[in-house]
Amino acid sequence: MDILNTMNVSTPSIMPPGCSMDNRQPSHRRTMPIAGARVLALSIALLTSAGLAAGCGDSAPMQDGMRAHLYGPVGAENPFQDVGWMRLYVRGDGLDAPLGRFVRYLPGGAADLEGIPFGAPGEMRQLVVEGWVDAGGQPSYIVSTGRSQWFEVRPEGEPLELEVLFTRVNSIVELPASSTGAAQRLQSGRMGAATTTSDREVIVTGGGTLDVASAAWWKGEAFTRTIASVEVIDLATNAVSPRKDLLTPRVWHTATGLIYGQAIIAGGFGAAGERLSAVELYNPPNVSGGDPAPLPGLAVPRAAHTATLIDAEQRLMLFVGGDASGTWEL
């Protein structure tokens, strides 16, 4: 285990409304070397003020909201190689846009991330860290990335200690579950599945299996079995879990994530290799008990088509192709 370097990132205190920048609490910096699995380079402390409602002249004490430690996967390429800049930002509920900035990556250095506002009960935030190549003194392109689990930023909450897996972009690494450390696998091997992200999950739906290596995998009738099962990958823990089956087994269909953890599943080839017009709604366990619900069908049966979400609130979608004539519909 090699500790390469350490770097601290902190946030100044939150500003009460109407206060100037000159009156804010000074930011705190601290270096916290921590043993990592392969590579250790960054120690992050998000600091928020306990005196959110205090006046400008009050000297409310600082409060640690979150401390995050970056580490690299064992046996993988050094995620800090070629990194000249770090982009740090916090996103999530209650924020109109991510809060963050670029900072120079200097081993053992320190940087400030501007104050992160407290959230209402139940509002969740996430820290994202990106490593960028330097080109003439400016960030050029991403080479590594990592993100924390989701957390709350509340004045009465206990400080959170988070481990952030920081890895090279476009490299393949195992995805171990945070609870067991074991590498995760889907419970059902599948081709032609449709995958989407919704809320804080990756949703894997349907697909099929082939018993003959030379089978025409792009054709619906070539599949030995068409699958209705659904599995999800929890983005906080990396754990894989089953969900309730689709109403219709299908392959080469589309899955489009919506708010509230739902997803629209449309078209595809059915069990007999026929193009489907059937559309259904995937529900997570906390919505309608996780039971899928039928939706109005497509005007034209489609498979291997595209589905583009035009308006999430209106659930307006554009379906293109996947039929003999290359039609489209809203």
Domain that holds residue 252: 194-329
* Residues 212 and 316 occupy one common structural domain: yes
Give the C-alpha separation, 316 to 258, whole Å.
Answer: 11
**Residue 28 clears pLDDT 80, i.e. is over it:** no
- pLDDT value at residue 109: 65
* Residues 15 and 158 occupy one common structural domain: yes
Question: Of 182, 229, 234, which Cα lies nearest the Cα of 208?
Answer: 229
* Residues 157 and 244 occupy one common structural domain: no
Task: Answer whether residue 175 is part of any domain.
Answer: no
Task: Answer whether residue 243 is part of any domain.
Answer: yes
Give the C-alpha separation, 294 to 153, whole Å.
Answer: 38
Over residues 31-88, the pLDDT tens digits come to 222 222 233 334 444 433 222 222 333 434 444 556 677 788 777 788 888 999 999 8
* Residues 227 and 323 occupy one common structural domain: yes
* Residues 70 and 208 occupy one common structural domain: no
* Residues 84 and 233 occupy one common structural domain: no
Q: Which two tokens stand for residue 13?
A: 């205190």
* Residues 264 and 309 occupy one common structural domain: yes
Q: What is the mean pLDDT of residues 155-182?
A: 77
Collapsed DSSP state (helix, strand, coil) of residue 204? strand
Question: Of 108, 25, 32, 104, which Cα lies nearest the Cα of 68?
Answer: 32
Query: pTM for this one?
Result: 0.59
Task: Answer whether residue 112 is part of any domain.
Answer: yes
* Residues 161 and 59 occupy one common structural domain: yes
**Number of domains, the chain:** 2
Task: Answer whether residue 206 is part of any domain.
Answer: yes
* Residues 211 and 301 occupy one common structural domain: yes
Identify the weakest region by mean pLDDT among 72-76, 205-209, 258-262, 301-305.
72-76
* Residues 126 and 217 occupy one common structural domain: no
* Residues 7 and 149 occupy one common structural domain: yes
Give 73-76's long-range contacts (Cβ < 8 A, gap of 24+): 73/37, 73/38, 73/165, 73/167, 73/173, 73/174, 74/37, 74/38, 75/38, 76/38, 76/167, 76/168, 76/171, 76/173
- pLDDT value at residue 114: 63
* Residues 8 and 137 occupy one common structural domain: yes
Which of 81-95, 140-154, 174-188, 254-268 has the largest mean confidence? 254-268
Q: What percent of the chain has pLDDT over 90?
A: 41
- Relative to beta strand 293-295, strand 138-147 is unpaired
- pLDDT value at residue 112: 64
